[in-house]
Amino acid sequence: MAKGKNVVGLDIGSSTVKICRIKESSRGRMLSVLDMAALTPEAIVDGSMMDATVVSDTIRELVKRNRVKVKEAAISVAGHSVIIKKIPLPIMTEEELEESIAWEAEQYIPFDINDVYLDVETLVTRPAQGQMDVLLVAAKKEMINDYCAVTRDAGLEPAIVDVDAFCLQNMFEANYGKLTGQTVVLIDIGAAVSSINVLSDGLTTFTRDISMGGNQFTEEIQKQLNIKYEEAEAYKLGQPPSDAQRQIPPQEVERVIMNVSEWLSGEIQRSLDFYAATSADSRIARIYLSGGAANMPMLGRVISRTSGVPVELANPFRNISYDPRQFDERYLESVAAASAVSVGLALRRTVES
């Protein structure tokens, strides 16, 4: 077992806050907490904290009703305020890399270097060429500070700040292994952002966030069928509201969902085409979908047809046990896709000094 202790996974999304706790022992991993609560549509907009009080109150309620005693939390960010680049550098020590990374980063980041937090990790070292590939991550300080602030206001301490794409990797490795010799794509369809992580031989080789997600389905249903937002959300989830002023034929809803699925699939394919053009081995074995919108069967079928690659739903509880007296199997199946990032966060551990 790795040193350090597991933290609380806190996935602060633009429409939902999810909390997850996983206990690790010599007998393996066990789910001890999993819960989620909806946010008001205006609480977080485009990754920006518009109503911090609503967000911190929501987190506090989740902590309270699940009797969470652990204070250290792992949170994550995504979207246009986060930049991830794989860059080649001359071989150097960790100390040299830390000293030079700010200067190196300026060439790749479209933000003022003073406005971002930086992190870097060495992926591959090629001694024969005297080079190494490193993964550079930059995130705007304002965004990180806002997410940390609401976490602290709710009584938790943000011990770890991660990126959604890497949370998917943590979740995937814990449940599926590293799949050496294969290239797979992890795609999390969030409410406002879809995160893509291409894993080749168990390593991240390409990431991209797309500013599209489940909200686009709801908004298009609302606009094209001229109904209220709440009704559109219900139709998207396949739960026609019984109190609606007029009932919408299922084929009308399916038509809109198909159009948005093709739109989103096209954006995903453009990212995969870019990866293929810049990678020596671009043969993708499988695409794993997660995120709340991934539960729409039509979306997976469209992505598979567009990419020519098999698509399946990722199961973040595939290799994590649970007490059936505490968690209903059908409930876990219904929320599995939406829980991928929070599970990836809950698998993180504090560094033991």
The predicted pLDDT at position 243 comes to 75
Does 353 score more than 50 pLDDT?
Answer: no
Count the helices and strands in the chain (H runs, E runs): 10, 15
Name which of 223, 47, 260 is nearest 143 in CA terms. 47
The predicted pLDDT at position 1 comes to 41
282/326 Cα distance (integer angstroms): 43
The predicted pLDDT at position 199 comes to 95
Provide mean pLDDT across the span 91-117. 91
Provide mean pLDDT across the span 226-242. 88
Q: What is the dihedral of CA 137, 120, 144, 215, to 10 degrees?
A: 30
Does 65 score more than 50 pLDDT?
Answer: yes
Q: What percent of the chain has pLDDT over 90?
A: 78
With respect to residue 232, please indicate whether it lies within any of the assigned structural domains.
no
With respect to residue 225, please indicate whether it lies within any of the assigned structural domains.
no
**With bands split at pLDDT 50, 70 and 90, how would you rate the model's confidence at 247?**
confident
With respect to residue 224, please indicate whether it lies within any of the assigned structural domains.
no
With respect to residue 338, please indicate whether it lies within any of the assigned structural domains.
yes
10/152 Cα distance (integer angstroms): 12
CATH number of the domain residue 181 falls in: 3.30.420.40
With respect to residue 222, please indicate whether it lies within any of the assigned structural domains.
no
* Mean pLDDT of the chain, nearest integer: 93
The predicted pLDDT at position 160 comes to 96
Does 244 score more than 90 pLDDT?
Answer: no
Range(s) of the domain holding residue 26: 8-216+257-346
With respect to residue 174, please indicate whether it lies within any of the assigned structural domains.
yes
210: which strand partners?
194
With respect to residue 249, please indicate whether it lies within any of the assigned structural domains.
no
Cβ 6 vs Cβ 346: under 8 Å: yes
231/198 Cα distance (integer angstroms): 35
Six-digit token pair at 120? Answer: 């870097």
**With bands split at pLDDT 50, 70 and 90, how would you rate the model's confidence at 3?**
low
Per DSSP, the three-state class of 146 is helix
Strands (DSSP E) contained in 164-263 are 183-189, 194-200, 203-210
Name which of 139, 167, 173, 117 is nearest 7 in CA terms. 167
Task: For residue 281, count other CB atoms closer than 10 A to its CB.
Answer: 11
2/168 Cα distance (integer angstroms): 19
Find the range with the poorest average confidence among 44-53, 153-162, 241-250, 287-296: 241-250
With respect to residue 38, please indicate whether it lies within any of the assigned structural domains.
yes
The predicted pLDDT at position 6 comes to 85
What's the structural domain count of the chain?
A: 1
17: which strand partners?
12, 37
Provide mean pLDDT across the span 93-119. 91
Name which of 130, 47, 48, 146 is nearest 91 in CA terms. 130
Does 89 score more than 60 pLDDT?
Answer: yes
Per DSSP, the three-state class of 78 is coil
